[in-house]
């Protein structure tokens, strides 16, 4: 019966929070809005978790979700306190370890934010690429493509497919304009490399199946029972070997920044140790 009463209480609270009129009063005074055993939830506690710019409907939903979660958490806590031994309930060591880890992490992020040089030049990217080409062996081919998905019976299909392989800027502008209204999907990735796996996902195929459909520089696929045709014009393809620099540049930039962060943290750690030793703040006693 006790579990039923708590559940019923939760349902009533959810209903109450979904009323915009009640919502206004529920989150702006200090009255208790839920109770599980001796634990109480106050309206001002809920208010802290509701964005000030949230709509009345969103506020009501967020509040009711919070109350429901709070009730469940307290029920689990009550049951755990009944079932666990005193030693099992002692989480002081874990809490202290977590606190230390969290405080250290927050300070490290502040330290990095204040000191990290985020400028990575093209020459630095090229230098890293040239020195680590073995890291950038292709796992799958990369391509530069134009892709279109259009209904087979579309009046604009023939015209769009006739333009997809053009190198004329005016023709491609016309294709872009026409595809925006007549195509189901369209993108021009002719200036940027993309993985064959990414392209295959657009077709709903695995990449070996996709590339097996490639005839010349065109890939065409008609999914059974859908009535549309998917076409990719392959401007360029690299099937094996080292990935091109342009394809790797974003990953290399992240690697360089990650290395800088690591160096900053190593320097911070060493500085703390050196300063502590200099000021005799550290004593390590020899164990007997």
pLDDT in tens, the chain (288 residues): 444 444 444 444 444 444 444 444 444 446 899 999 989 999 989 998 899 899 999 999 999 999 999 999 999 999 999 999 999 999 999 999 999 999 999 999 999 999 999 999 999 999 999 999 999 999 999 999 999 999 999 999 999 999 999 999 999 999 999 999 999 999 999 999 999 999 999 999 999 999 999 999 999 999 999 999 999 999 999 999 999 999 999 999 999 999 999 999 999 999 999 999 999 898 888 776
Q: pLDDT value at position 8?
A: 41
What total of structural domains would you count in the chain? 2
Q: Is residue 196 a contact partner of residue 210, using CB atoms and an 8 Å limit? A: yes
The rounded distance, in Å, linking the Cα atoms of 100 and 12 is 40
Q: How far apart are CA 207 and CA 222, in angstroms?
A: 16
Per-residue pLDDT at 30: 65
Clarify whether residues 154 and 227 are in a common domain. Answer: yes
User: Of 238, 265, 282, which marks where a domain is finished?
Assistant: 238
Q: Are residues 145 and 233 both part of a single domain?
A: yes
Structural domain of residue 70, as residue ranges?
2-84
| Distant-in-sequence, close-in-space partners of 56: CB < 8 Å, separation ≥ 6 | 20, 23, 24
Write down the pLDDT at residue 10: 46
List Cα–Cα distances, 240 to 118, 137, 142, 237, in angstroms. 32, 8, 9, 9
* The model's pTM: 0.72
8 Å CB contact between 230 and 202: yes
In a domain, 108, yes or no: no
Instruction: Point out the domain boundary residue: 84, 102, 117.
Output: 84
- Among 162, 122, 151, 139, CA closest to 245: 122
Q: Is residue 46 part of a domain?
A: yes
**Do both 77 and 153 map to the same domain?**
no
Q: What pLDDT, on the 0 to 100 scale, is given for residue 11? A: 41
What is residue 161's predicted lDDT score, i.e. its pLDDT?
95
């Amino acid at each position: 019966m006790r579990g039923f009463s708590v559940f019923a209480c939760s349902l009533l609270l959810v209903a109450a929070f979904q009323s915009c009129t009640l919502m206004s009063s529920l989150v702006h005074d200090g009255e208790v809005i839920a109770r599980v055993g001796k634990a109480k939830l106050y309206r001002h506690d809920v208010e802290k978790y509701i964005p000030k710019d949230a709509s009345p409907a969103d506020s009501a939903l967020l509040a009711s979700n919070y109350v429901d979660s709070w009730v469940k958490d307290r029920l689990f806590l009550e049951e755990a306190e009944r079932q666990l031994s005193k030693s099992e309930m002692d989480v002081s060591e874990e809490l202290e370890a977590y606190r230390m880890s969290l405080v250290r992490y927050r300070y490290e992020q502040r330290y990095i934010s204040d000191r990290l040089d985020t400028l990575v030049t093209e020459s630095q990217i090229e230098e890293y690429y040239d020195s680590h080409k073995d890291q950038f062996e292709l796992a799958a081919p990369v391509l530069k493509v134009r892709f279109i998905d259009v209904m087979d019976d579309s009046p604009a299909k023939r015209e769009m497919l006739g333009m997809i392989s053009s190198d004329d800027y005016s023709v491609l502008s016309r294709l872009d304009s026409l595809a925006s209204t007549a195509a189901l999907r369209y993108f021009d990735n002719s200036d940027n490399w993309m993985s064959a796996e990414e392209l295959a996902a657009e077709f709903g195929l695995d990449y070996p199946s996709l590339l097996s459909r490639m005839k010349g520089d065109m890939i065409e696929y008609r999914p059974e029972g859908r009535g549309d045709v998917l076409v990719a014009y392959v401007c360029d393809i690299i099937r094996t070997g080292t990935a091109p620099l342009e394809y790797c540049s974003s990953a290399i930039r992240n690697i360089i920044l990650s290395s800088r962060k690591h160096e900053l943290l190593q320097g911070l750690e060493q500085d703390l140790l050196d300063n502590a030793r200099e000021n005799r703040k550290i004593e390590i006693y020899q164990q007997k």
